[in-house]
Amino acid sequence: MVSSLELAAAAYCSIRDRIRSEDPKIDEQTLADTVEGLTVVHEIITAIVRSALADEALASGLQSRIAEMEERLARIQDRADKRREFAKDAMIDLDLKKIAAPDFLISIRTGTPSLVVLDEGVVPTAYWEPGAPRLKRQELLNELKAGSEIEGVALSNPEPIMSVRVR
């Protein structure tokens, strides 16, 4: 299309310049109408813009479809998470540590405790990052796991973790 447009633009300029040189007193509207009737540049540009409009409409439709598919993906991921949580809870309630299926293995193990900040106001300053106040969570967690008692923080009860290994 670009080469057709370049050729049409060259013809347009050539015809316009020739008419202007032969009739220097021609008004701009008459010149524009005459050159438009003698060239195809307007049709080519119109076709290019029409194609751009079609591409924009397609892109808009795809954006809408992508948004719908992302919502669907989120729903499916949420459903999978809920099903895994349900299976984990059932195995914990029934005190099942392992289930072997032909295509995967399910096991329940004890998780690791995480940091629970009970009262930030009483946490010693040694556990705050310099600058804007921010807790050094990893350092606090390591100290608590090592047996230290630090005011304002504690370890959570470890949550069981279900692991699924696909064969």
**pLDDT tens for residues 87-119?**
999 999 999 999 999 999 999 999 999 999 999
pLDDT at 40 over 80: no
Tokens of residue 4, six digits:
């057709």
> CA 119, 122, 128 angle in degrees (round to 5)?
95
Q: Give the per-residue pLDDT at 54.
A: 93
Query: pLDDT averaged over the chain?
Result: 89
Please give the model's pTM, rounded to 2 decimal places: 0.53
